[in-house]
Structure 1
Amino acid sequence: MPYNGLALDRGRRSDADWLAAALDAGQILAYWQDKCLVAGGRPVRLPTTDREVVFLGAAETAVFAADLSDLDADTAVAQAGAEAAVDIRVLFPQLDRQEAATLAYARGMLHWTRNQRFCGACGGRTAAEQAGHVRRCADCGKLHFPRIAPAVIMLVESPDRERCLLARHRGARDYSTLAGFVEIGESLEDAVRRELHEEAGVRVSEVSYQASQAWPFPSGLMVGFRARADTEDVAVDHDELAEAHWFTRDEVRAQGGTRHDSIESYLVETWLGER
C-alpha cells in the first residue's frame, strides 16, 4: 500500500547528543506550505540549516525535515537551492516505496508543527521537545502530540455482489468510492454505516475490514472496508454528493483508473479481480 511500511528507525528522539551529531551528518528535507522543494524533479536535501527541524528517523543516515513556510515562495525556493515547490502526490509516480512514505511523513509532521505553535488550552507559545514529536506550552506546561484523523473508505457491493456503488461528489467530474471521517463515540464499522446512509441513503449491515493506509495529507489514516448493501435503494443527500449509481465490473473498468497512490485503487481493483 502506498505510504505504508515506513522503515526509518525513530527510536532516538530523546538522545540529544546523538541527534546533534546526526544532524551534522544527515540530510534535511525542505518544504514550503506542505509542498516538497525539488530540483531536477528530485527532493532537495539541505546540507545544514539554522531552522527548527523535525527528526524523521534513521536508515543509512538520519533524516530530518525543515519548514520554510514563513518565507514567500520564491525566497524559499532560492534559499533551498530548489527549482519549485511540488505536491508530493504529483511526485509519487517517480518515487520508490520508502521515499514516498518518508516524504509523506515529513509533510504531515511539518504541517502539525506549523499549526501547533500555540497551545489550544491557554494560547501560550509552544516549544519542540523529543526532536519535534512533542510540543510543550511555555505557559501552562501542557504537552501536545501529533494527532491523526481516522477516516473510513468503502467499496459497497449490491446485494447480489455483481455491482458496486460509486458516487460523484459535487464539483467533481469522476466517480469514486465513498469515504468519511470517524466521529467520536462510534466504531469504524458504525462510521461506514452512518456515512453510507447519510450521504447516499444506502443501508448496509455486512461490513468487513480490508486494509489501512497511512494518509498524512495532512494527518489522516484511511481504513478500508467492503460493505454489502441490504437493498439497491439510493437517495443521495445532494449536499456532498451530486449523484451515486450502481456499476457493473465492465462499467467500472470503462470509467478509467483510480489514483494509484490511494487505498481506493486497492479496494476497487480487488473487487474487479473477483468473479
Structure 2
Amino acid sequence: MTFEGLAYTHTPHDRAGSRRDDPDWVGTQLARPDAQIIPIWRNRCLIRAGRPVVLDGRDGAAVRTAASQTVLLGLDEAAPVFAVDVGGQDEEAVLSMANAEGSADLRSLAALSPHSLTATLAYARGLLYWHRHARFCGSCGSATRSAQAGHVRQCTGPDCARQLFPRIEPAVIVLVEAPGPEPRCLLARHRGAGPDGFALIAGFVEVGESLEGAVRREVAEEAGVKIGSVAYRASQGWPFPAGLMVGFGAQAVDDSIAVDGSELVEARWFSRAEVRERLAGGPGSGPVDSIGGHLLREWAAR
C-alpha cells in the first residue's frame, strides 16, 4: 500500500511564488472571469448539492467584496485560484451571495471529494486561519497587513517592520511494533476517548528536537515504551488548524508498557489479526482522512 491517497496533501497548484509579490499582477488575476474563488466561512466550506462551492470570477464578485481577507492559492492550469474569508458576515447572507445551501466542516467532506479539491480547501482554510490569528506583531504589538497575495504579513510599526510567515505546527504520529517474531503494534486510549477508542500515539515536536527525537520522547513519556529504530513513512498537511503530521514506523526495545495516566489511560499490544478485525468492524480503522488510519491499514495489510 502506498501513501499517495493521503487527504489534504497534494495541492495541484503552481503557487506563483515568483509573481505574487507583484500587486498589479495579482490584481489582474483576481479580475479574470475564469478565476476560481473559494469562500471560507468561519473555517467551514460552503456547500451546494453536497459538494464544496467554488465560484468563478463573475459569480464570486459578491463574496470578494464582502471578504475580510483574500489570498492567492496559485495557478491551476493557468487559471488563478483565490480563497476569501467571509467569516465576518452572517451565514445566511454568505449563503445567498454564493448561491450555497449550507456550510460544512472540511473533514466531513474528505471522503466524498477528489483529493486535489480537499487539498486545495485545506490550503485555503489553513492560510485564512493564520491571517485571522496574526493581525498583530508579536514583537512590538503593532497591527500587521497582508502582503505577497496573502503569504506574508508585514508589521506596520515604524521601528519594526517585521515580516510574519504562515505558522505551521509539526507533529509526529507513529506505529510502534513490538520485538519478537509475532507481529504486534502499540495502540493507546487517550483520556476522553471511548472505551474502545484505541489509536496510534502522536504528539507535537518541541523546540530543539528532531522528528525522530519527538517520536522517542512521546512514546516514552506517554506509554513508557522505549524505542529503538525509527523510520520515516510519509507526511500529511493537517491545517486543523495549523499542523503538519509526520508519520513514522518504530521498533520497541521490549514489550513493557507503563502509561502516564495523564495523556493516556490505557495502552496495549495488538496482533495483526486483532487489528484486521478492528479495521473490518469500522471504528478501529481510524479517520479515513488521517495519516494514522493509513499507517494502521498499511501495517495490517502486510
TM-score interval, smaller chain: over 0.9
1:68 matched to 2:73: no
Distance 1:73 1:253 in 2: 43
Matched, 1:205 2:240: no
Deviation at 1:44, TM superposition (A): 2.2
1:53 paired residue among 44, 59, 70: 70
**Counterpart Cα distance in 2 of 1:77 and 1:114:** 21
Q: Which residue of structure 1 lines up, in the alignment, with residue 301 of structure 2?
A: 273
Out of 31, 48, 65, which is 2:40 matched to? 31
Q: Deviations over 1:227-249 (max 9, x none)?
A: 11111111111211121111001
- Asked if structure 1 preserves the Cα contact closer than 8 Å seen for 2:8 and 2:119, the reply is yes
3-state SS, counterpart of residue 46 of structure 2: strand
SS in 2 for 1:152: strand
Q: Deviations over 1:60-105 (max 9, x none)?
A: 3211111112234334333433222211110111211210110010
Distance 1:39 1:273 in 2: 37
Question: Are 1:85 and 2:103 counterparts?
Answer: yes
TM-score, normalised to structure 2, is: 0.87
Q: Output the amino acid matched with 1:57.
A: G
Q: What's 1:117 paired with?
A: 135
Distance, in Å, in 1 between the alignment partners of 2:40 and 2:10 is 22
1:129 aligns with 2:147: yes
Q: Do the aligned partners of 2:7 and 2:110 also contact (CA within 8 Å) in 1?
A: no
List alignment gaps of at least 5 residues for structure 1.
Answer: none
Q: What amino acid is the match of 1:263?
A: I
Q: Which amino acid aligns with 1:98?
A: S
Identity of aligned residues (%): 50
Corresponding residue of 2:168: 148
1:123-146 Cα deviation digits (max 9, x unpaired): 111111000000111113111000
5+ unaligned residues in a row in structure 2: which ranges?
1-5, 280-284
1:7 is matched with: 12
Deviation at 1:197, TM superposition (A): 0.7
Quote the Cα distance in structure 2 between the aligned partners of 1:198 and 1:271: 24
Q: Give the distance between the partners of 1:45 and 1:164, measured in 2 at CA.
A: 42
CA distance in 1, matches of 2:230, 2:21: 42
Q: How far off is 1:151 after superposition?
A: 0.6
Provide the residue aligned with 1:108 in structure 2.
Answer: 126
Look up the match of 2:282.
none
Aligned residues: 274
Q: For residue 287 of structure 2, what is the aligned residue in structure 1?
A: 259
For 1:73 and 1:251, the matched residues in 2 are separated by: 45
Task: Provide the C-alpha distance between the structure 1 equivalents of 2:31 and 2:244, rounded to a whole number of angstroms.
Answer: 33
Partners of 1:260 and 1:168 lie apart in 2 by 18
Q: Give the distance between the partners of 2:80 and 2:22, measured in 1 at CA.
A: 13
2:31 partner SS:
helix
Please give the secondary structure, in 2, of the residue aligned with 1:186. coil
Give the 5 Å matches for 1:223-242.
223-242=246-265
Moved more, 185-194 or 3-12: 3-12
Residue matched to 2:52: 43
- The Cα of 1:30 is off from its aligned counterpart by 0.8
Q: In structure 1, how many angstroms separate the alpha carbons of the residues matched to 2:213 and 2:112? A: 37
TM-score by length of 1: 0.95
SS at match of 1:10: coil
How far the C-alpha of 1:27 sits from its partner, in A, is: 1.7
Question: What one-letter code is carried by the residue in structure 2 that aligns with 1:270?
Answer: E
Any idea what the Cα deviations from partners look like across 1:201-260, whole Å, max 9, x if unmatched?
111111111111111212111111111111111111121112111100111122232222
Q: CA deviation at 1:114?
A: 0.8
* Native 8 Å contact 2:225 2:255 kept in 1: yes
